[in-house]
C-alpha cells in the first residue's frame, strides 16, 4: 500500500482542473480512472444516467469496476470523483473527491495482486456527489442515489455483505470522523483494524450524523460505513488544494481499510 502512488493519482485528477458533472475535465477523469483500473486487471462498466438538478437536467456517469468474473462481488468500496460547482473560482477538490479516488485506485492495484479477494469487491466511483445548492432528497448524492435505486430495483442489494465509502481522507492533519450513526459492526471492525496496526489515534467519531454517499446505500439495504475526515477547514473552499494533503494520511487509511477487508469483511 503506497501513499505516494495514491497521491500521484490525486495529482493527475487535480491537473485536469475542476471536475463538475458534464465538464470536459470529468470526462478526462473518467478516462484516466478507467485506464488505471484496466491496467491493474479490473473490468470497468459505465453507468450513465440523467437527473433534474437546480441547474437543469444534467448527465452523470458512475464507474463500476469488478475483477475476475466467476465470483459475484459481495462488498462495495466507493468514492466520488466529481467536484462541487463553483461560479467564482477554480475548485479542484484535492481532498474532496480527489483523495478518496486516488486511494481507491491504489487499493485496486493492491487487491489485484490477490485475485481471490479482488473478485469479492465491487469498486464504485460516483459522479454527482456534490449538491448544486444544498443536500436534499433531490439535490446532491446523484450518483449514489441512482446506483442504490438500481440495486433496489434488481434485488442486487442482497448480495452485498456491506460497503465502505471513502471521502476526504488525505488531510495532512488526519482525523477520520466516523458518523455517529455508523453501523456498529463495521465501526467496530474499522477500529479493531486501526488498533491492530497501531493507528487508532487517527480514527474517532464525529459528533453527529453525516449525509454522504453511504446514505442511499444504507437506505437500499447495503450496510455501509463512511470513512471521512470532516475536520477539514478547506472543505468546499478554493483552498482545497494539493498542499493540504499527505501521502502518509492516504497510506494510513489504505492500510486500515486493507486490514479490515482481509481479516474480516472478505473472510
pLDDT per residue as tens digits for the range 182-230: 999 999 999 999 999 999 999 999 999 999 999 999 999 999 999 999 9
Mean pLDDT lowest for which of 15-29, 65-79, 105-119, 243-257?
65-79
Is pLDDT above 80 for 70? Answer: no
Nearby residues of 121 by Cβ (< 8 Å), 6 or more positions away: 66, 67, 73, 75, 76, 77, 111, 261, 266
Q: State the pLDDT at residue 192.
A: 98
Please say whether the beta carbons of 33 and 125 come within 8 A: yes
Nearby residues of 17 by Cβ (< 8 Å), 6 or more positions away: 25, 90, 92
Q: State the pLDDT at residue 147.
A: 98
The grid coordinates of residue 133 equal 445548492
Q: State the pLDDT at residue 156.
A: 85
CA atoms within 13 A on the CB side of 210: 25
pTM of the model: 0.98
Q: State the pLDDT at residue 96.
A: 98
The CATH number of whichever domain residue 202 belongs to comes to: 3.40.630.10
Q: How many domains does the chain fold into?
A: 1
- Going by their DSSP bridges, the two strands 162-167 and 224-228 should be labelled as parallel
Segments forming the whole domain that contains residue 110: 3-265
pLDDT per residue as tens digits for the range 106-158: 999 999 999 999 999 999 999 999 999 999 999 999 999 999 999 988 888 88
* % of the chain surpassing 90 pLDDT: 95
Using 50, 70 and 90 to split pLDDT, how confident is the model at 68? confident
Amino acid at each position: 500500500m503506497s501513499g505516494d502512488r495514491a497521491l500521484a493519482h490525486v495529482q493527475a485528477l487535480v491537473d485536469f482542473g475542476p471536475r463538475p458533472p458534464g465538464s470536459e475535465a470529468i470526462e478526462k477523469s473518467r478516462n484516466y480512472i478507467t485506464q488505471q483500473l484496466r491496467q491493474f486487471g479490473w473490468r470497468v462498466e459505465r453507468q450513465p444516467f440523467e437527473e433534474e438538478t437546480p441547474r437543469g437536467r444534467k448527465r452523470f456517469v458512475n464507474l463500476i469496476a469488478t475483477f475476475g468474473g466467476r465470483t459475484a462481488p459481495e462488498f462495495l468500496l466507493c468514492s466520488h470523483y466529481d467536484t462541487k460547482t463553483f461560479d467564482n473560482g477554480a475548485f479542484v477538490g484535492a481532498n474532496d473527491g480527489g483523495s478518496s479516488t486516488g486511494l481507491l485506485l491504489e487499493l485496486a492495484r493492491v487487491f489485484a495482486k490477490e485475485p481471490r479477494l479482488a473478485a469479492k469487491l465491487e469498486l464504485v466511483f460516483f459522479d454527482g456527489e456534490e449538491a448544486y445548492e444544498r443536500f436534499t432528497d433531490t439535490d446532491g448524492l446523484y450518483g449514489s442515489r441512482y446506483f442504490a435505486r438500481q440495486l433496489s430495483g434488481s434485488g442486487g442489494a442482497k448480495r452485498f455483505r456491506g460497503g465502505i465509502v471513502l471521502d476526504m481522507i488525505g488531510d495532512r492533519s488526519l482525523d477520520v470522523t466516523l458518523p455517529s450513526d455508523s453501523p456498529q459492526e463495521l465501526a467496530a471492525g474499522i477500529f479493531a483494524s486501526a488498533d491492530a496496526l497501531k493507528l487508532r489515534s487517527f480514527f474517532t467519531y464525529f459528533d453527529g450524523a453525516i449525509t454522504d454517499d453511504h446514505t442511499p446505500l444504507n437506505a437500499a439495504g447495503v450496510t455501509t460505513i463512511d470513512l471521512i475526515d470532516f475536520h477539514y477547514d478547506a472543505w468546499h473552499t478554493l483552498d482545497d488544494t494539493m498542499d493540504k494533503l499527505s501521502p502518509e494520511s492516504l497510506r494510513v487509511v489504505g492500510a486500515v481499510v486493507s486490514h479490515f477487508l482481509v481479516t474480516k469483511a472478505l473472510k
